[in-house]
Amino acid sequence: MNFAYIQAKKDEANTVVSFFFNARGDSLERSTIGMYRSLLYQLLGALPSLLGILDQPEHQDQLNSIHATILAQGRDPEWEVGILQDLLRTAITGLGQQHLTFFVDALDECNVDQVEELVDYFEDLGQCAVSNRIRFNICFSSRHYPHIDIQYGRKLILELQDGHENDITSYIRSKLKVGKGKSAEEIKGKMQIKAHGIFIWVVLVVNILNAEFKGGRIFDVKKRLDSIPTKLSDLFMEILSGDQQNLQDLRLCIQWVLFAKRPLTLEEYYFAVVSGLSPDELSEWDPEEVTRDDMKRFVLSSSKELAETTATKTPTVQFIHESVREFFLKDGVQELWPNLTGDFQSLSHAQLQKCCHSYIKIDISGYVPSDEPLPKAPSDAAKALRGLVSERFPFIEYATHHVLYHADAAAHRVTQDRFLNDFDLEAWINLQNLFEKYEIRRHTSTTTFMYIFAENNLTRLIQVAIRLGWRIHALGDRHKYPLFAALSNGHQAAVRALLQQDTSLAHENYIPAQLEYGKNFTSLKGQTPLQWAMQRGNMPLAERLLSTNEFDLNLTNQQGHTPLFLAAMNGHEAAVQLLIANGADLNARDNTGRTPLSLAVKFGHEAVLQLLLTKGADLNIRDISGQTPLFLAANNGHEATIQLLLAASADVNAQDNSSRSPLLMAIIDGHEAAV
């Protein structure tokens, strides 16, 4: 693939765009969402004339919504595959005489379920290009699994190509150092045969045989080659089991490379592993004491040379081949450590949580005094401080951002009670705020655990906190309540955990599916979740919230409205009944002196009015203008509500502060039927 890519780039008339799936990378590196975003970004950057596709009416609503999310929440927006595909199709059909080539490498490292849809999309796109006489080529590469069936195109199986075998031959001849005699040639030939076209096998075996030949014993090299298994997983096992030193290093290496939230940089990896090996010796990094070359050697030694440092601008640590990752995820760990029982993934996340927790306890007060406020997040001072702290403590940003992520993942099988009870939330908030680039997303010192968990969709930690008896709906931060934080960020799983609901419930009883998320979620300033539920008449949610006994039924919002006001003014009879049954104040008064009954009258909700009257609500309470509910009914011409009030003995002769009667109000406003 790399050779084809380089050759295509030499053609100046050809615009070349590429994407390489990476199963060891973050979610955007291993998903089609990430691929479409990357391809589109590169294409529009290379051909600015295509930028007009972003202004086309059919895409405006979704693009405006995405832009609003970025401005309001300062976070990466949630794209939908459909709009990305539509934008890419529109761009390609507008190429005109331009020649475009896409290279998409390592389809096998993408989610299997997404690969088939991806190939179908590009086949359709290719046919569209052909019908529009557009020069558009696509080159995919993948291992044999998953099987990819392409209707129109040319397929090359690399190991069946003469060039591939020639590459292996050249590598063996240039890298294998076992002399130049007849025996050496026999070894090289036998090695070529045993390789079965698997290049990574050759690379590993060359290293083994070179080490064997250091003593000049060519006959031992022959024996060693004969004993080396041809199956790649067996070779990995032999390499690992042959060296029993520093197995704790190896275990931590495997756990970090397999289960880190994202690939670790060289410096992060070194201190992440050290945090597990020697947590009591953690301190500020001294580059003269531990050099980057030392760290690279540590990567090799801790991984038994099955991990490497990438040759990129910011080097990260990864396995030398995807087959190494597959080996460990299947049977490798169990074969290496047969005494490890249970869920290795959960156990690993528990270990990574401990590493992160140990590292964020390092004293950085020399750089970030705890008694001084941080500079504003987007300021140059904040950027400089983030850079300085990250330079001196390379693992601290990752550890801060992801310690709770690993705790949540571990909670699947490993209890996190002690961890949460010992966790210094205030210190963590200060660190999190230090590394937060958007001021609006910083937390106050009074932010609760539950709010943090909900905001970050940490569902298992929510469940742990509930079991420990912590308040579910305690007032939090920017979105005020954990439930609102989860809804605003589109976290249905967190909502489910907060409401303690099971997905097996019937749809009509499954509350999370009935709510609005992300850009569709709105709430009034100062509104509680119970008030929000009442405003919408969402009875299942209201009942669930009331069952927690965490909400004051008579707590008011900025307008002085209790939940009963909101239910009454929106005509939600069942909600009104529920609140009254739970002890809500029938005659509470808002900032204008009106009652729930007043608002039911104002908005013409007859059933709610009848219910309130039946329950004993006072129908002659005056507001700050001196008007009773009958005034509101007359003023709005609600004949039916007038009749209900009169039947309940409302004072027809009452006068407001301006000496007007309900009759006069009806006459002034021209409501003949009310008169």
Report the pLDDT value the prediction gives residue 670, as an integer from 0 to 100. Answer: 42
Which percentage of the chain shows pLDDT scores above 90?
38
Same domain as 414, residue 270: yes
Residue with more model confidence, 26 or 567: 567
Burial code (b: 16+ CB inside 10 Å, e: under 16) for 455-477 equals bbbbbbbbbbbbeeeeebbeebb
Neighbouring CB atoms inside 10 A of 177's CB total 12
Per-residue pLDDT at 504: 65
Amino acid residing at 342: G
Answer yes or no: do 165 and 149 share one domain. Answer: no
Confidence bin at 137 (pLDDT 50/70/90): confident
- Reduce the DSSP state of residue 90 to 3 states and report it: helix
Strand partners, 100: 15, 136
Instruction: Give percent above pLDDT 70 in the chain.
Output: 89
Closest by CA to 307, choosing from 339, 272, 337, 282, is: 272
Instruction: Give the β-pairing of 135-140 and 307-309.
Output: unpaired
In a domain, residue 504? The reply is: no
Tell me how far apart the terminal alpha carbons of the chain are, to the nearest angstrom: 86
DSSP 196-241: TT-HHHHHHHHHHHHHHGGG--HHHHHHHHHHS-SSHHHHHHHHHH
**pLDDT on residue 437:** 92
Is 557 a domain residue? no
Q: 3-state class of 50 per DSSP?
A: helix
Do 19 and 129 lie in a common domain?
A: yes
| Residue 489 belongs to some domain of the structure | no
> Long-range contacts for 654-660 (Cβ within 8 Å, ≥24 apart)?
654/620, 654/622, 654/628, 654/630, 655/626, 656/622, 656/625, 656/626, 656/627, 656/631, 657/625, 657/626, 658/625, 658/626, 660/631
151, pLDDT greater than 80:
no
- Would you say residue 67 lies in a domain? yes
User: Are residue 391 and residue 410 in the same domain, yes or no?
Assistant: yes
pLDDT tens digits for 167-184?
788 888 888 888 888 888
Dig out the tokens for 169 from the structure: 């031959």
- What pLDDT shows up at residue 442? 92
Q: What is the pLDDT of residues 526-544, one digit of tens each?
A: 888 998 988 888 888 988 9
Residue that terminates a domain, selected from 137, 156, 175: 156
| pLDDT tens, position by position, 79-132 | 788 888 888 888 888 888 888 888 888 777 777 777 778 888 888 888 888 888
In this prediction, residues 637-645 reach a mean pLDDT of 82
Helices (DSSP H) in 228-332: which residue ranges?
232-241, 247-259, 266-277, 292-302, 322-327
Q: In terms of domains, do 360 and 434 share one?
A: yes
Find, among 647, 658, 579, the residue nearest to 613 by Cα.
647
Output the CA torsion sign for 389, 392, 394, 396. Answer: negative
Q: Do 145 and 191 reside in the same domain of the chain?
A: no
Asked if 396 and 359 touch (Cβ cutoff 8 Å), the reply is yes
Q: Show the beta-strand stretches assigned E in 297-364.
A: 307-309, 317-319
Domain end position, chosen among 135, 156, 177: 156
Residue 243 has pLDDT above 70, yes or no: no
For residues 149 and 166, state if they share a domain: no
Q: Tell me 373's DSSP state.
A: P
Mean pLDDT of the chain: 85
User: How many residues comprise the chain?
Assistant: 675
Classified as helix, coil or strand, 99 is: strand
**Is the domain of 192 the same as that of 54?**
no
Structure tokens belonging to residue 116: 């088939």
pLDDT of residue 116: 77
Tell me the HSE value of 403 on the side-chain side, using a 13 A CA sphere.
26
Omega before residue 77 within 30° of 0, cis: no
Q: Which comes out higher in pLDDT, residue 641 or 298?
A: 298
Whole-model pTM over 0.85 = no
Residue type, 581: A
Based on the structure, what is the number of domains in the chain?
4
Segment 304-357, tens digit of pLDDT: 888 999 988 999 999 988 888 888 888 778 777 877 766 889 999 999 999 999
Q: For position 619, which CATH number holds?
A: 1.25.40.20
103's enclosing H/E stretch is: strand 99-105
Please check whether residue 450 is in contact with residue 479, taking contact to mean a CB–CB distance below 8 angstroms.
Answer: no
Residue 615 contacts by C-beta under 8 Å, 6 or more apart in sequence?
Answer: 580, 586
Residue 353 lies in a domain: yes
Residues 151 and 167 in one domain: no
Q: Which residue has the higher pLDDT, 627 or 453?
A: 453
The CA-atom distances, in angstroms, between 353 and each of 362, 402, 439, 599 are 15, 8, 27, 53
Question: Which range, of 329-333, 569-573, 588-592, 643-647, averages the lowest pLDDT?
Answer: 329-333
583-597 average pLDDT score: 93
Give the model's pLDDT for residue 148.
65
Q: Where are the alpha helices (DSSP H) in 537-670?
A: 539-546, 563-569, 573-581, 596-602, 606-614, 629-636, 639-647, 662-668
For residue 198, tell me if it sits in a domain.
Answer: yes
Say if residue 39 is in the same domain as residue 58.
yes
* pLDDT at res. 674: 46
**Is 149's pLDDT higher than 70?**
no
Of the residues 416, 445, 474, the one at which a domain ends: 445
pLDDT at 673: 47
Euclidean distance between CA atoms 341 and 338, whole angstroms: 8
Evaluate whether residue 587 is within a structural domain.
Answer: yes
Sheet containing strand 135-140, strands side by side = 14-20, 99-105, 135-140
Question: Is residue 545 in some structural domain?
Answer: no
pLDDT above 70: residue 71:
no
Residue 49: give its domain's CATH number. Answer: 3.40.50
Q: What is the domain extent for residue 372?
A: 261-281+318-445
**Residue indicated by tokens 């968990």:** 453
Say if residue 411 is in the same domain as residue 323: yes
Which of 325-334, 571-580, 590-599 has the weakest average pLDDT?
325-334
Q: What is the DSSP letter of 329?
A: I
The reply to whether 187 and 130 lie within a common domain is no
